[in-house]
Structure 1
Amino acid sequence: MTKTIFMLFLMALFLWGLEMAFANEWERVDAPAYGQDQSIGSYANGCLQGGEAMPLVGEGYQVIRPSRNRYYGHPDMIAYLTKLAARTKGFGLDDLLIADISMPRGGNFTSGHSSHQTGLDADIWLSFTPDRLKQSTLEAPTAISMVDLKSYSLRRDNWLEEHAILFQVAASEPEVARIFVHPVIKETLCEMAWEDRSWLQKVRPWWGHHYHMHVRLRCPDGNASCVEQATPPKGDGCGSELISWRPKPKDEQEKVVTTKKKKRVKVKPEQCLIVLRQ
């Protein structure tokens, strides 16, 4: 029994070391893996085969911080972003700023993201630009927050009608699974009058997303190794679920007892080893 436990411990230690080694290797790869396009694993524990680079400039968009080399995605994501930018341009919006998608072969980031690993996640900043930005500005753009984080309220001096159009157009596409935004932004969209509210179901509250939106696509057809996220709850998500995100009174916060969870070691799908070593 003791020998079995020891062997399991060694195996766990080996897998942990393997995962830690891979974490940085993904960032050192500078080109996509050849082969049929495949999103492998889950959004926060996977990789990408046959990824495409997003052209740095196109109709209705510009890619920011290109030196980070995070503008690769599954072809479905590149097609979606290109289509979205063209559509919003048609509605009169200025250029979208496309931020991180994935690295050339997806995989782990040392910092900044836990997801964005399969080429099916993309960040779009909530800033528009009417002009072609200089290279220096593209590399170091200024983020504009839509939320006053201290007062938990919308910064109406920064919020534009165009933002609402962007969210509606972005979430209405059938390939979109979720769009993560700060809860205050979700509340703002919920309070608006919409003839069709079905797309609001996909707009999910999540901390940190006050200056950008995080778009997540469904697993593409034929990608058998892609792990889909559960479908969002029914309804527009504008009721009690959203209210639960609001800050609690201080005295109530003090009554909450938090327990520290052990960090679970994530083991990559075996296919990702092949993708990494190509």
Structure 2
Amino acid sequence: MMRNFSVLVFGAAVLVACVSAIDPAVSQENAAERFGAFRAATTEAAQSYGTYARGCADGLVELPETGPTWQAMRLSRNRNWGHPEMIDYLQDLSREAARIGWAGLYIGDIGQPRGGPNTSGHASHQIGLDADIWMLPPGRLNLSRSERENLSSVSVRSEDQRSVTSAWTPQHAQLLRAAASDPRVDRIFVTPPVKIELCRTATPADTPWLQRIRPLQGHNYHFHVRLRCPAGSSNCETQTPSVAELSNGGNGCDATLTWWVTDYLNPPASTGQPAEPSEPAPRRRHPREYTLADLPRQCSQVVQRP
């Protein structure tokens, strides 16, 4: 009995010590402002903490501004930081882009130096495992910093939102197939007409990678890659449900057509019956409103590291 009591006392002391190491005042700071102020990553081993839309990271790596088959865009944002696995993935995919006939890739936002909620834009991109890749095939890979701030990508979604535009090419389809076939990938978000176009020519053999291509509004100028939690990041939470569950084991094509073309763009006619009164849904807080206390406890430690 005495031995068990001693163990409990020791465990409580360790817990108190860990909690007291985090300044209570720090925990109430606005997380986006705190994380957005960092210009460099921590020197700890790479770890992703929390979820894609509520987390942070140690040991992120900066994607070099220019490489043989890529350029990082919008450098003023300082969001070309990611988990080493993401940086490796992007460089691998850029070489694949060169193989299919592009000069390489224009790579948009990955994440901030220590992850965390962004000061503008994204709700996700918080743990170094999200990245935006432009739909614009690079014309050249020696853009100046100024050109990278002002050049725009190209939309591959038609004005009526029902099909892809003439900017869409077979190389886009090849690139997305390569991007989604990598086992490091959890899912890839594209504008719904792109998913529909990929489904148009799909075969049963395409199911494993096509399953990972998910339709989502707002992705007509870029596609958004999301990696699985890397080995060793035990406090990282991969998105659920899995893509296989979302697709019911299929490629997701039927569900996309039903949702986008039938339900979203041409919603079913009203029955004419008055809707039942209901309480308004509670307002969801945007990640830019989070305090450090809203994030995984490790994030309060990440912001206090040198």
TM-score by length of 1: 0.87
Seen in structure 2, the aligned counterparts of structure 1 residues 139 and 19 have a Cα distance that, compared at 3 Å, is farther
Structure 1 gap ranges (5+): 1-14
Residues 77 and 254 of structure 1, relative CA distance in 2, 3 Å threshold: farther
Q: The residue matched to 1:47 in structure 2 has which SS?
A: strand
In the TM superposition, what is the alpha-carbon distance from 1:243 to its structure 2 partner?
1.8
Do the aligned partners of 2:116 and 2:126 also contact (CA within 8 Å) in 1?
A: yes
Identity %: 39
Could you give the per-residue CA deviations for residues 82-141 of structure 1, whole angstroms, max 9, x where no partner exists?
A: 111112212222221100000000001122000000000000010011312233211122
Hey, what's the Cα distance between the residues in 2 that align with 1:203 and 1:254?
34
Q: Is the 8 A contact 1:72 1:103 kept in 2?
A: yes
Establish whether residue 274 from structure 1 lines up as the match of residue 291 from structure 2: no
SS at 2:137's partner residue?
strand
* Paired residues for 1:173-192 under 5 Å: 173-192=182-201
| Distance in structure 1 (CA, Å) of the matches to 2:53 and 2:184 | 19
What amino acid maps onto 2:232 in structure 1? G
1:74 shift after superposition: 0.3
Q: What residue number does 1:249 align with?
A: 266
1:1-278 matches, cutoff 5 A: 18=27, 21-131=30-140, 132-149=142-159, 151-194=160-203, 195-230=205-240, 231-232=242-243, 233=245, 234-246=249-261, 247-249=264-266, 252=269, 259-263=280-284, 267-278=294-305
Indicate if the aligned counterparts of 1:19 and 1:268 stay in contact, CA closer than 8 A: no
Kept in 2, the 8 Å contact 1:59–1:89? The answer is: no
Greater mean alpha carbon deviation, residues 261-270 or residues 134-143: 261-270
The one-character-per-residue Cα deviations of 1:186-208 (angstroms, maximum 9, x if unpaired) are: 10111114453320000001110
Cα distance change, pair 248–83 in 1 and its aligned pair in 2 (3 A): closer
Closer/same/farther in 2, CA of residues 178 and 133 from structure 1, 3 Å limit: same
Equivalent position SS for 1:128: coil
| C-alpha distance in 1 between matches for 2:267 and 2:59 | 50
Secondary structure, aligned partner of 2:253:
coil
**Structure 1 letter corresponding to 2:303:** L
SS in 2 for 1:196: helix
Q: Would the alpha carbon gap of residues 203 and 136 (structure 1) be closer, same or farther in structure 2, given more than 3 Å must change?
A: same
CA deviation map 1:195-227 (0-9, x unaligned):
533200000011100110000000000110001
Q: For residues 250 and 64 of structure 1, do their structure 2 counterparts lie closer, same or farther at Cα, with a shift above 3 Å needed?
A: same
Matched AA of 1:249: N
Structure 1 SS opposite 2:209: helix
Q: Secondary structure at the match of 1:147?
A: coil
Distance 2:130 2:207 in 1: 23
Amino acid at match of 1:260: A
* Deviations, residues 65-92 of structure 1 (Å, cap 9, x unaligned): 1111000000000000011111221222
Structure 1 pair 242/229, CA: closer, same or farther in 2 (3 Å)? Answer: farther
**Residue 95 of structure 1 contacts residue 130 of structure 1 at CA under 8 Å; is this kept in 2?**
no
Q: How many equivalent pairs are there?
A: 262
| Structure with the greater alpha carbon radius of gyration | 2
Q: Structure 2 vs 1, CA of residues 36 and 242 (structure 1 numbering), >3 Å: closer, same or farther?
A: farther
Deviation at 1:53, TM superposition (A): 0.2
SS of equivalent residue, structure 1 residue 185: helix
Q: CA deviation at 1:19?
A: 5.7
TM-score (norm 2): 0.80
Partner residue, 1:12: none
What RMSD in Å do the two structures reach over aligned CA positions? Answer: 2.3
**Aligned CA distance change for structure 1 residues 154 and 270 (closer, same or farther; 3 Å):** same
